[in-house]
Amino acid sequence: MFGAFKSALICIHLQGAMPEMSAKTIDDSIFPQYLEHLLQPESYPHPVDKVELVQTHISFVILAGDFVYKWKKPVKFGFVDFASLAKRKFFCERELLLNRRLCPEIYLETLWLSREGQSFRLKGDGEIVEYGLKMVRMPEEGMLNRVIAAGRLRQEHIAQIVDILVPFYRQAGQGDEIRENGRASAVARTISSNFAETKPFIGSAPLSPERFAWIKRGTDAFLGRGELFSRRIAAGCIRDCHGDLYSNNICLADRGKIHIFDCLEFNDSLRFIDTCADVAFLAMDLDFHGLVAMSDYFIHSYIERSGDEGLLKVLDFYKCYRAYVRGKVGLLAAADPVMEKSAAEGWSRTAGRYFQLAEQYAGRL
């Protein structure tokens, strides 16, 4: 079906790339017909020299000139349901609305793709076959994970991020439904599902039985301290947060502008969280990259600006949770049957590093 496009590069990642993956050829049996149209530069109403396709486990992301077009896959997992066209339309609209909280200049509009005879057309008059999202393309060299890898992260960048986050959390929603999600029982359900999803991998190199038992024992014991979670609720710390706050979703753009993008729109329970769970993700991410002093500076600056000293009492718990989630993602990626051996080994090693970090945090609970 794709002819010349069969050699297009596909970058596959789960909740953000970790190890680099090999190029894959497009599989006719998996990729929807409309992608052939969207991979052609002439399909767009603006100048496009080259079209690139990036694939996540739930989205097709197309880089076309100065813009990015994001299309949701018709998937249904335990935490996300994009199975119907109506649901994909709804979540495109949610993604636009929620992400405009932090970077309205990046998230431009929702749009659709229609069938026009034997072809397709963006925002056409024919039968609508898919809904998507149009965004401004951000500079790749400014992506925070690349900035970290290049050794270019500075304290002033962290201070700018704090300056964005503090007012964002103060203005974020905090209704009854949101606050209820901060109870120890609600948090325990999320933690339990993570452990359940990794049970098939216990005994593998990244996740030994001893390591799993140590992390679970520490988090279970901490969850028994319900008064800590109640205090966080009473302090107004459970908010409609970002939900996926780490280096892959932050961009240091031109003229010192920072964009925090790609919040979790598809599952409210993963976004209705303690602000510490958001902040801890980026702090853990900095720890993971060996930037412990920068992580400490981030937390210190955040507490100083927000006044949330109680954050320190739950910080290691949420760091442990975030590290474990990233380890889980690595295991799932390594187990993907289409993954080439070298890439799978890279994901497995990275998963091991995350679980080791979670083990360290668990020892401090």
DSSP assignment of 264-321: --S-GGGTEEEHHHHHHHHHHHHHHTT-HHHHHHHHHHHHHHH--GGGGGTHHHHHHH
Q: Within this chain, do residues 121 and 233 fall inside the same structural domain, yes or no?
A: no
pLDDT score at 342: 83
Residues 213 and 287 in one domain: yes
Amino acid present at 275:
T
Q: Which residue has the higher pLDDT, 285 or 345?
A: 285
Digit-coded pLDDT (tens) for 28-77: 345 688 988 999 999 999 999 999 988 776 788 999 999 999 999 888 87
Q: Which residue has the higher pLDDT, 81 or 155?
A: 155
pLDDT in tens, 208-231: 999 999 999 999 999 999 999 999
Tens digits of residue pLDDT in 283-296? 999 999 999 999 99
Clarify whether residues 297 and 334 are in a common domain: yes
Contact criterion met (CB below 8 Å) for 21 and 55: no
Last residue of a domain, one of 111, 137, 163: 137
pLDDT of residue 29: 40
Distance CA 232, CA 227 (A): 9
Q: Which domain holds residue 32?
A: 3-137
Pairing of strands 10-13, 51-56: parallel
pLDDT range class, residue 330, cuts 50, 70, 90? confident
Query: How far from each other are the two terminal CA atoms of the chain, in whole angstroms?
Result: 54
| Domain stop point among 137, 167, 184 | 137
Judge contact between 334 and 345, C-beta under 8 A: yes
Same domain assignment for residues 158 and 294: yes
Contact in structure between 223 and 202 (CB atoms under 8 Å): no
Alpha-helix runs per DSSP H in the chain: 34-38, 85-99, 144-149, 155-171, 176-180, 184-198, 209-223, 226-234, 275-288, 292-306, 315-334, 341-362
* DSSP conformation class of 84: S
| Number of independent structural domains in the chain | 2
CATH code of the domain covering residue 239:
3.90.1200
With beta carbons less than 8 A apart as the criterion, state whether 260 and 194 touch. Answer: no
Rounded to whole angstroms, what are the CA distances from 176 to 225, 233, 265?
Answer: 22, 10, 19
Helices 315-334, 275-288: axis angle to 10 degrees equals 60
44 and 191 in a single domain? The answer is no
- Nearest 5 degrees, angle CA 289-CA 136-CA 294? 20
- Listed residue (251, 291, 345) closest to 151, CA to CA: 291
Q: Are residues 205 and 74 in the same domain?
A: no
68, 149: one domain: no
Question: Is residue 22 pLDDT above 60, yes or no?
Answer: no
What is the Cα gyration radius of the chain? Answer: 21
Buried residues in 263-285 as b, exposed as e (16+ CB within 10 A):
bbbbebebbbbbbbbbbbbbbbb
Distance CA 149, CA 17 (A): 13
Whether 169 and 112 map to the same domain: the answer is no
Residues 163 and 41 in one domain: no
Of the ranges 1-5, 22-26, 284-288, the best mean pLDDT one: 284-288
131, 92 contact by CB (below 8 A): yes
Sheet bearing 107-116, strands edge to edge: 10-13, 51-56, 59-64, 67-72, 127-136, 107-116, 119-122
> Residue 339's pLDDT is what?
61
Name the domain boundary from 137, 155, 179: 137
Report pLDDT for 139: 94
- Find residue 55's DSSP bridge partners: 12, 60
8 vs 170: which has the higher pLDDT: 170
pLDDT at 12 over 90: no
User: What pLDDT is attached to residue 171?
Assistant: 96
Q: Which residues contact 341 (CB under 8 A, 6 or more apart)?
A: none
Averaged pLDDT score across all residues of the chain: 89
- State whether 48 and 16 are in the same domain: yes
Please indicate, yes or no, whether residues 198 and 337 belong to a single structural domain of this protein: yes
Same domain, 168 and 101: no
- Cα separations (Å) of 252 from 63, 81, 249, 340, 349? 18, 32, 10, 32, 28
The confidence score (pLDDT) of residue 99 equals 97
Q: How far apart are CA 272 and CA 263, in angstroms?
A: 12
pTM confidence score: 0.86
